[in-house]
Structure 1
C-alpha cells in the first residue's frame, strides 16, 4: 500500500484543520509537530517509509515558524543518508492575510524537499481570477507552487473559506495521484 504523510505545525488550530483536509484528500497519515518543535520517535519511521510527504506550516512573520524549522533541521539525519531521495513532496501554508507572504514559506518547504532530493508536486489547479470569482471558488488565492490558505485572525479554524478547504482536498488527491504514478 502506498503511504502519504502530512507533517505539519499548527499554532492556533488553523493549520491543523488544513492538514486534516489535505490528509482527507490524500488518504494520508497525519504527524503533528508539537509546540517544542518535536515529533514522536515512531514518526520518523513513518516519514522514512512514506512514498510522499506533504509539509504544512503557517506563515509567521514571512516564513515558517521556528517549530517547523527545528523539525527541518532534525531531518538532516535523513538527508545525510539520502533516505528521502526521490520521494514525492508537496507543501502548504496559511496566514491571516490574503497574501501574507505565504509564497516565501512555500519556497522554504520546496527547498527543504529539494535538499532531500525530492520530487516537488505543484498545486496543479488554475487560479480563480475572474471578476465573478469568490472565496468559495477553487484556488481563489491563485497558488501554483503549493496550497495557499487564508485564515481570518479574529476567528477560529471554522471560518476558513470553503474554497480554500475544497482546494486542500484536491491538492491532497493530486499529491497522492502523482505519488502513485512514481511507485
Structure 2
C-alpha cells in the first residue's frame, strides 16, 4: 500500500491478496494493523474477501525475529475474512543461497541486514517471495477456472 486512501474496491475485485509487513517487536507493523482494523466496514461486514486467495510475507532484521508470529497474525486475519490461505510449498533450504533458507511454511520469510535495499534481503529470500507470488497466482487462476 502507498500513502493515501486504501483501494477497497480494487482489493474486492482482485482474485488474491498477499499481505506483507516487516516484523517489528515480534508482530506486524502498526500500519498493517491499522489496515486490518480499517477493513471491518468495507470488507469484513460485507464479506467481500470471502473465498479469495490470501498469502503473506514478512521481513525482520534478525534471522528468526519472531517472523512466524507475524505470519500467524496475517493468516488469522485472512481466516476471519473467510479467505483461503496459501503457504509455501518449498522444503527448507540448506544454505544461504537456497530458497526458503529460513524454513517457513506459512508464508515467505526474509531477513535484512541494516544496509541498502540493493544488498538486502539476499537473492534467495527474494526468490522465495517470488515463488510464493507465483504459487498464489497459479492457485487463484485454478480457483477462478472452476467457478
TM-score (norm 1): 0.75
Q: Which fold has the larger relative contact order, with Cα–Cα distance below 8 Å and residues 6 or more apart in sequence?
A: 1
Report the equivalent of 2:26.
Answer: 62
Pair 1:52-2:30 in alignment: no
SS in 2 for 1:110: helix
Structure 1 runs of 4+ with >4 Å offset = none
The answer to whether the 8 Å contact 1:82/1:116 transfers is yes
Report the equivalent of 1:165.
Answer: 126
Q: 1:115 to 1:33 in 2, by over 3 A?
A: farther
Pair 1:105-2:70 in alignment: yes
- Residues of 2 paired with 1:33 and 1:64: CA distance? 17
TM-score (norm 2): 0.93
- Residues of 2 paired with 1:182 and 1:138: CA distance? 26
Q: Structure 2: any 5+ residue segments left out of the alignment? A: none
SS in 2 for 1:158: coil
Q: 1:33 to 1:73 in 2, by over 3 A?
A: farther
Report the equivalent of 1:4.
Answer: none
Q: Structure 1: any 5+ residue segments left out of the alignment? A: 1-31
SS in 1 for 2:18: strand
Paired positions, count: 142
Report the equivalent of 2:56.
Answer: 91
Alpha-carbon RMSD: 1.1
